[in-house]
Structure formats: C-alpha cells, structure tokens
Amino acid sequence: MYLVDYLRSHRVWFKTLLHPPASSAAKLASSLHVPGRAVAKTVLVKAGGEYVLTVLPATSRIDMNRLAAALRHEPGSVRLATAEEVTRFFPNCEPGAIPPFGRLYGIATVLDAGLADQFEIVFGANTRHEGVRMRFADYEAVEAPLRASFADPIAVRSATSVRRRHAG
C-alpha cells in the first residue's frame, strides 16, 4: 500500500509536499525550509535476529549502544541494515525515501524521544521528491512506536572552526 493511501485509511490530517529530489532527511529539511529537528529520519537496523525501523530527528544520529539497551539487546548486537536488506523490506521506496511507518511494512518502529516535542513532523514518502507533513500526535497514534532516547545530536561545525582548520 502506498503511504498516502495508508494515511487516508487512518483518517488523519496530512499534507503532501512536492520538492526537488532529496537523498537524505537533512536535504529534505533544507529543500522544504524546515528545521532539521522537525524532520523525521528513518534508519533500518538489525537487532539480534529482528529488524526494526528507527525514527529520529534529521539533526541526530543513532547511538547504537543506547538503541540496543532500549530494545533490550546486548551492546554490539545492533547494526545498520545493508542496502540489500533495506530494498527487501521497502521494495516500493526509492533509496533514501523510507517513510517512518514500520507497521505498514510489518516491522516494529522505535521513535527517538527527540521528535516528541514537535507539533508537526515532516518526512519522506516513498519517493525522493515527495514529503509529508503531519501532526506528531497523529503519527504516534497511527504508528504506535516504542518511544526511547537513543539519538545524539550531530555536531555542527561552526564557520570559525572550519576557518581555523583550513588556516593551519
């Protein structure tokens, strides 16, 4: 089922957003002029013998040890899925355009608590040129993800630190 049909079937408000193709959540945020903390990035991981879709702010990255603890797995037992594994689970999605609805694809979803303070979130749909905006509360009601704290902010280099690095 295509994501838009899925959301319509749940009778929640959402808005589709057409934009230039974006290969990452950060590029989606830039293209749509939306703060990265309000853009949901999806990453498929393998935890032990199961696959889990993680959803976190575009401005963050996964701390694998904290994710393993949240999923009640041993440290080191969680890894990123390979490109082949991602394609197998999301055959109707372009690379880099996985929606944050693991339930739609038969897998569990874990949401980083960092997205929970957003009134609305934006995320990629099944293609790299289409995004979706919806209320966070509606997303959580439809998906019912496990909520955990497993992401760390990505350090942003300041212009000063970049200049210092190139001056030496």
The answer to whether the CB of 111 falls within 8 A of the CB of 145 is yes
* DSSP labels, 15-51: EEEE-S--SSHHHHHHHHT--GGGEEEEEEEEETTEE
Please state the separation of Cα 72 from the chain's center in Å.
Answer: 21
Q: Looking at residues 152-168, what average pLDDT do you find?
A: 61
Query: pTM for this structure?
Result: 0.86
Residue 88 phi/psi, 5-degree rounding, is -65, -40
Q: Is the dihedral of CA 134, 137, 142, 147 positive or negative?
A: positive
Tens digit of each residue's pLDDT (9 = 90 or more) over 36-72: 688 899 999 999 999 999 999 989 999 999 999 999 9
Tens digit of each residue's pLDDT (9 = 90 or more) over 91-149: 998 888 899 999 999 999 999 999 999 999 989 888 777 889 999 999 999 999 999 99
* Residue 33 zone, left/alpha/beta (φ > 0; ψ -120 to 50; rest): left
The answer on pLDDT for 161 being more than 60 is: no
Strands (E), 33-129: 39-47, 50-57, 60-62, 78-80, 108-112, 120-124
The answer on pLDDT for 9 being more than 60 is: yes
The pLDDT, as a whole number, for residue 129 is 74
Q: What is the DSSP-derived secondary structure letter of residue 159?
A: H
Of residues 78, 81, 34, the one with CA closest to residue 59: 34
Alpha-carbon distance 122 to 110, whole Å? 17
Alpha-carbon distance 45 to 82, whole Å? 9
Question: Which amino acid type is present at position 128?
Answer: R
The pLDDT, as a whole number, for residue 87 is 94
